[in-house]
Amino acid sequence: MDAPTESTRESRFPKWAAALTDHDAFQQEQARLGRIWTFLGLTTDLAKDGDWFTAQLGGRSVFVQRFGDKLKGFENRCAHRFYPLRTKDKGNGPIKCGFHHWGYDEDGRAVDVPRCKDLFGVTPKELNARIAPIEIATCGSLVFGRFQHPRANETLQQFLREAVPIIETMCTLTRQPRTVTLDIEANWKLCYHISLDDYHSPAVHPTTFGMGGYLKRSALRYFRFGMHNAFFPGADENGLQSMIQPCQDGTYRPVRYRIFQIFPNLLIALFRGQYMFAKRQVPTHWYVNVQQYVPIAPGRSFLRSWYYRAPFKEDRGALNRLYVSLSEPVRKQVLEYNIRKLHAEDNHVVERLQRFASQQGGWPRVGYAEERIKWFEEAYANAIAD
C-alpha cells in the first residue's frame, strides 16, 4: 500500500484515534470487532469435561466450556437478571447461576429453574430462556470466538489464511505454558501499534532488543496476508511461503526471530531465549510467545502473555538433553525477567501516549519500519466501517 499523502491521510483513516478517548466510539468499535474471529484462550485450560474459561469478546464477557468432545461458547450473562454466570478466570463445573440458581444445559437452555411453575407460571421448557451462544473454532491449541452475524460467514481457517499451518505447528501444546499478565493504562491499539513498530527499539529498549541499533531497510521483510501480517528479519521475499511447507511436513527448524500479528489483537512470536550461562556449542533455545492486548476501556487494556519452549524437534545428544531439562527452570526465570522488562519499557511509552491521547489526531508520519501499523489500521478501518 502506498503511504497516504497529506490530502488522503484523514480520509483514509478518519477515525483511527476516536476510540482512544471516546467511550461511545470504543463501545461501537468493540461491537464491530466482536464479529471477527478473536482469540479467547487455550485448549490447555479446557482439557477435562466441564472445564471453562472466561474471556472478552467485542467488549463483553464470554466463556468457553468443554462438553465431552465439543467446545461451546456463551455470553457470560444469565438470561434471568443478567448476573455473570462465571465470575473467575477459569474453573470446572455445570453452568449454574450464583444469583437464583438457574441451571443451563450445553445448548445454553435454562433447564433447571427453581420453583419455575410456582413463580413463573410455566415449566422451564415453556419459559424457553437461553443464554446467547457465540461461535467457537480452534487452530492448534488456540481457541477463537465471534458473535454470530448474518455476514460473518468466513471460517476460522479462511480468516487465518497462511498462518494456519504455522499456528498449528507452533501453537499445539501438550502442557500448560507459563503466563505473564499486566494491566496497562493505555488503549489496546496503542499497545498493538508498538508491537508492530520496528523503529523504536534503540530508543525504548537500549539494553535489550535495541543493542544492535536500527535494522537496515533491506532486513525489514514484511508479509501481509488478509487482515494479518508477519515480520521475518533478514528473510527473502519467499520467507513466509518457505516456512509453510516445512511446518506442514514437520521439518521446520527455527533460524531467526519471527512474528505473526493476527488481527485484531493477537501476536505470536518465535524467539531465541537468552541464557546467561549458554556456551557457543550449546544449541540455541527457542521459545514461542503468544500475546494478546485485551481492550477493557478506552484508556485501559489487559495484557495476556503465554510462553513455552518451541515445539520443534531438537537435535541434541542425551547429555545435552539432560543439561537442557536441568537448566530449564533457571532459563525460564531469566526469560520471564526479560519479558517483563520489555513489556515495562513498552508500557511506559504507551501509557504516556495515552495520557496525551486527546491530542492524537490526523494520520501520523509512519516510515517503512512502521509499515505494518498502516496495514493494521487499514484492516481496522474496514472492520469498523462495515
Using CB under 6 A, list all residues that contact ligand FES.
78, 80-81, 83, 97, 99-100, 102
Minimal distance, residue 375 CB to Fe ion, in Å: 18
Task: In angstroms, give the least distance from the CB of 288 to Fe ion.
Answer: 18
- The least CB distance from residue 186 to Fe ion, in Å, is 13
Smallest gap from Cβ 256 to ligand FES, in A, equals: 52
Q: Which residue in 104, 55, 57, 62 sits closest to 79, CA to CA?
A: 104
Distance between terminal CA atoms of the chain?
A: 21
- 3-state helix, strand, coil split of the chain in percent (to 5) is 35, 25, 40
Q: Which does 100 bind (CB under 5 to 8 A by kind): ligand FES, Fe ion, none?
A: ligand FES
- Which CB, 75 or 346, lies closer to Fe ion? 346
Helices 371-385 + 23-33 axis angle, to 10: 90
- Residue type at 258 in one-letter notation: R
- Chain position whose Cβ is nearest to Fe ion: 346
**The three grid cell numbers given for residue 324, joined into one nine-digit string:** 537442557
Q: Is 289 helix (H, G, I), strand (E, B) or coil?
A: strand
Which contiguous run of DSSP H or E holds residue 225? strand 222-225
When the beta carbons of 77 and 331 are compared against ligand FES, the nearer one is 77
Q: Cβ-count burial of 309 within 10 angstroms (0-12 exposed, 13-18 middle, 19+ buried)?
A: middle
Q: What is the DSSP string of 88-123?
A: SSEEES-EE-TTT--EE-TTSBEEE-TTHHHHHSS-
When the beta carbons of 346 and 377 are compared against Fe ion, the nearer one is 346
By CB under 5 A, the residues from 294 to 333 that bind Fe ion are none
Q: Which of residues 334-363 bind Fe ion (CB under 5 A)?
A: 346
Q: With 0-12 CB in 10 A as exposed, 13-18 as middle and 19+ as buried, what is 329?
A: exposed
CB of 102 to ligand FES, least distance (A): 4
Name the binder of 277 from ligand FES, Fe ion, none, CB < 5-8 A by kind: none
Distance CA 67, CA 105 (A): 10
CB of 162 to ligand FES, least distance (A): 43
Q: How far is the CB of 206 from Fe ion (least distance, A)?
A: 11
C-alpha closest to that of 173 among 287, 69, 327: 287
Name which of 82 and 368 has its Cβ closer to ligand FES.
Answer: 82
Long-range contacts of 255-258 (CB under 8 A, 24+ apart): 256/232, 257/232, 257/233, 258/230, 258/231, 258/232
346 binds, among Fe ion, ligand FES, none (CB under 5 to 8 A by kind): Fe ion
Closer to ligand FES at the Cβ: 99 or 337? Answer: 99
Residue 45 or 197 with smaller CB distance to Fe ion: 197
278/349 with CB nearer Fe ion: 349
Q: Which residues contact 16 (CB under 8 A, 6 or more apart)?
A: 189, 363, 377, 380, 381
Question: CB-wise, 120 or 199, nearer to ligand FES?
Answer: 120
Q: Which is nearer to ligand FES, 129 or 383 (CB)?
A: 129
Q: How far is the CB of 122 from ligand FES (least distance, A)?
A: 16
Size of the site for Fe ion (CB under 5 A): 1
Preceding omega of 295 cis (within 30 degrees of 0): no
Write down the least CB distance from residue 207 to Fe ion, Å. 13
Residue 78, beta-bridge partner list: none
Number of H helices, E strands in the chain: 11, 17
- Decide: is 198 part of the binding site for Fe ion (CB under 5 A): no
The site for Fe ion (CB under 5 A) is made up of 346
